[in-house]
Amino acid sequence: MALAAINAGKRFPPGSEFRNLDVLRAVAVLCVFGSHLILTLIKFGSLTVPNKELWVSLFYILAHLGVLYFFVHTALVLMLSLERTEPVGIIVNFYIRRIFRIYPLSILCIVAVLLFRVPPTPDTIYTSWNGGEIFANVLLVQNIFRKPDMITPFWTLPRELQMYLVLPFIYLVLKRFPSSVVVLVLWSAFFAAVPSAPLLSCFPCFMAGVLAYQLGKERVFSLPSVLWPFTIFAVTALGFVLTLTVFPDYRADYVACMLLGLAIPNVLELRESWITSASQGVAKYSYGIYLCHDPVIWFAFVRLKSFPAPVQWAALVLLMILVPVLAYRLLEAPLIETGRRVAARWSAASVRRREARKDAFVESAQLAD
């Protein structure tokens, strides 16, 4: 009864379904995929639009906003994951699970790029990669060593990985000082550090997810669930306006992300429907969709360019379904479970070590008496 009373005031109680977050993640990956597909068709001349430069800019912005939604969503979900993790050995536990989550598919993509000579973007040509570039992409540290991304979607992965290093410590700070004011102080610190530390440029975007997590415990109002799609649309529209006008730099990202983080915990969950079910499916396979969509677009419209258009489009649709589903079921899901088991064993061993140290301390105290 007491636990139920505590959870009743939370926006994200354990065991709840996060339909709004599924919709957000689905919108994020579809913004990236759809924008890159349209940009490729425009560049190949398959799609003719008036004022080509303007449309290219708009779709670049839309793809970028999709990535920002990923950042906010990821930080929030991982904060919730940390909340459910055994407190003993929590930091290493978290790192183990994230390593098993992010690296396997990214390494498989690198292998595919090398085997099939996939270019960085569908409209460019393949160039050979040296050992240093491959090694940096395998470890996802290419932004630190200033190495090019082997495929365009890889640009986000090092930034996610570097945020993973910090996120458990932010969680522990909020566990000690649970306040949205603390989140805003940390956000301001990252914001102030960006000009002198460009590697932190995406950290304020991730902090929007941390803000959503903390506000979920302090929610003071609840908007109708029907407003959630309009909220995403409004943030997207604002992102376009800010990028094209007053904030033509990273600051537009920070404003859009923080507004999204503010909105997430204050909009009620959507009711179950075909839209939420479809979003859940897209969200489930979103990592594979995100990493594999550029190579699939390239294969459909470059490697199959001598085939009729219906064949190219059929290949695109088939592969965009088949590749992410197979990647998830054959690689991602098994290794996620493996990471969970390894992390659980680590936590159990940490508990045993702590108990052993406690017993040794008690025994030594008794001997001293």
Q: What percent of the chain has pLDDT over 70?
A: 91
Do 70 and 156 touch, CB atoms closer than 8 A? yes
Q: Where are the domains of the chain?
A: 21-354
Position 289 pLDDT exceeds 60: yes
Q: How many CB atoms are closer than 10 A to CB 264? A: 26
Least-confidence region, from 153-157, 281-285, 292-296, 343-347: 343-347
Query: pLDDT band for position 6 (50/70/90)?
Result: very low
CA angle (17 as vertex; 13, 20 as ends), nearest 5:
105
Phi, psi of 223 (to 5 degrees): -90, 150
Look at residues 254, 154, 161, 255 and name the one whose alpha carbon lies nearest to residue 199.
161
Do 121 and 104 touch, CB atoms closer than 8 A? no
Show the tokens assigned to 268. Answer: 């009620």
Query: pLDDT band for position 365 (50/70/90)?
Result: low
Instruction: In whole angstroms, give the CA distance from residue 167 to residue 312.
Output: 42
Position 366 pLDDT exceeds 90: no
Do 79 and 208 touch, CB atoms closer than 8 A? no
pLDDT in tens, 181-205: 999 999 999 999 998 888 899 999 9
Say what the pLDDT of residue 23 is. 97
Look at residues 85, 111, 107, 106 and name the one whose alpha carbon lies nearest to residue 96.
85
pLDDT in tens, 77-132: 999 999 998 788 899 999 999 999 999 999 999 999 999 999 999 999 998 999 99
Do 347 and 340 touch, CB atoms closer than 8 A? no
Say what the pLDDT of residue 8 is. 43
pLDDT in tens, 221-243: 789 999 999 999 999 999 999 99
How far CA 74 is from CA of 21, 78, 188, in Å, comes to: 10, 6, 20
Q: What is the mean pLDDT of the chain?
A: 91
Position 363 pLDDT exceeds 70: no
CA 314 to chain CA mean position, Å: 29
CA 295 to chain CA mean position, Å: 20
In three-state form (DSSP H/G/I as H, E/B as E, the rest C), the secondary structure along the chain is CHHHHHHHCCCCCCCCCCHHHHHHHHHHHHHHHHHHHHHHHHHHCCCCCCCHHHHHHHHHHHHHHHHHHHHHHHHHHHHHHHHCCCCCCHHHHHHHHHHHHHHHHHHHHHHHHHHHCCCCCCCCCCCCCCHHHHHHHHHCCCCCCCCCCCCHHHHHHHHHHHHHHHHHHHHHHHHHCCCHHHHHHHHHHHHHHCCCCHHHCCHHHHHHHHHHHHHHHHCCCCECCCHHHHHHHHHHHHHHHHHHCCCCCHHHHHHHHHHHHHHHHHECCCCCCHHHHHHHHHHHCHHHHHHHHHHHHHHHHHHCCCCCHHHHHHHHHHHHHHHHHHHHHHHHHHHHHHHHHHHHHHHHHHHHHHHHHHHHHHHHHHHHC
Position 57 pLDDT exceeds 50: yes
Position 325 pLDDT exceeds 50: yes
Show the tokens assigned to 352. Answer: 């045993």
Say what the pLDDT of residue 348 is. 86
Least-confidence region, from 8-12, 310-314, 362-366: 362-366
CA 290 to chain CA mean position, Å: 10
Phi, psi of 340 (to 5 degrees): -65, -40
Show the tokens assigned to 229. Answer: 């799609």
The DSSP bridge partners found for residue 223 are 267
How far CA 222 is from CA of 56, 152, 218, in Å, comes to: 38, 38, 11
